Amino acid sequence: ATTKTHIGNFEFENCFMNAAGVYCYDRNELEQVINSQAGTFVTKTATLQSRPGNPEPRYHDTALGSINSMGLPNLGFDYYLEYLLELQKTHPDRTFFFSLVGMSTEDTHTLLKKVQESDFNGITELNLSCPNVPGKPQIAYDLETTEKLLTDIFSYFKKPLGVKLPPYFDIVHFDQAAAVFNKFPLTFINCVNSIGNGLVVEDESVVIKPKNGFGGIGGEYIKPTALANVHAFYQRLNPSIQIIGTGGVLTGQDAFEHILCGASMVQIGTTLHKEGPAAFERITNELKAIMNKKGYKTIEDFRGKLKYL
Ligand SMILES: O=C(O)c1[nH]c(=O)[nH]c(=O)c1I
């Protein structure tokens, strides 16, 4: 069995990659993902200026997952663009993802115009779902603002673009969100970002400092929500818009389920944070074993073929 895949016009030897925010802060971390079994990587979400992020502790692992309120710490757009352009020379056969978002609508347009005018030839992931910048709502929970933003973006942005979405929890919201996304030539949507503003308590205390302990939840806690979002949009979107599945992937079986629900690429966050880049080889081998046992040669043999009762 092969776990290769494609997103847009790009082929990837493996359908696994990191989730933005994990193992992607700087060249050192990104190089470790490049040198792992991952098919590609996505950068930490970049903003126009570098940001220190929220006070620590701002990330905490639990037995079942993780909670974070990083606050968008990143080295700034230029740092990641420079590295991505360097990789286009040293790894011309590979395609990478650039995650970004502005701290304002104006900044978002400034960033995307810089990408459009640059020599970057990979895929851009616009983060519409950061839950941890105090005072800033998750953009994709405001569908009117999201539609206006995408309308303006596609008037000038002609390179491959996808959006990182928060989880939705209401069937009507799936309907309304899909109706918006279907209006645009999106290469993909990525479901899901962390479940925003959860609260983990240990003994008598919160476990992270920012926002009195409130933070995005990842890991085993969120797989049912992640699979539901992947499948809800798979059922509703134009087939030209592919789906990246993120959330709750610990094993090859979890990845199999994301693909069964419709995902064409699977991102790994909390598990990668806990286990390191070796997780890609383990999970890839586990998925291949499942595919071999079931007689599936490629992921297209079962992608989206979730059975109903
Ligand atoms: O706090 C963060 O930096 C963060 N944390 C998340 O869990 N998702 C996001 O999109 C972001 I931008």
ipTM confidence: 0.99
pLDDT of residue 135: 87
Q: Is the CB of 21 under 6 A from ligand 1?
A: yes
Q: Is the pTM of this model over 0.95?
A: yes
Question: What's the pLDDT tens digit per position in 260-272?
Answer: 999 999 999 999 9
* Res 180: pLDDT: 99
24 Cα to the center of ligand 1, angstroms = 12
The ligand 1 atom nearest the CA atom of 69: 1
Q: Is the dihedral of CA 8, 36, 131, 81 positive or negative?
A: negative
Question: What is the tens place of the pLDDT at every residue in 214-238?
Answer: 999 999 999 999 999 999 999 999 9
Model pLDDT for residues 232-254, shown as the tens digit of each residue: 999 999 999 999 999 999 999 99
Evaluate if residue 126 carries a pLDDT over 90.
yes
Closest CA to 232 of 267, 264, 261, 266: 261
Please report, rounded to a whole number, the percentage of residues in the chain having pLDDT higher than 90.
98
| Residues linked to residue 266 through DSSP beta bridges, in sequence order | 16, 245
More confident call, 131 vs 22: 22
The atom of ligand 1 lying closest to the CA of 133 is: 1
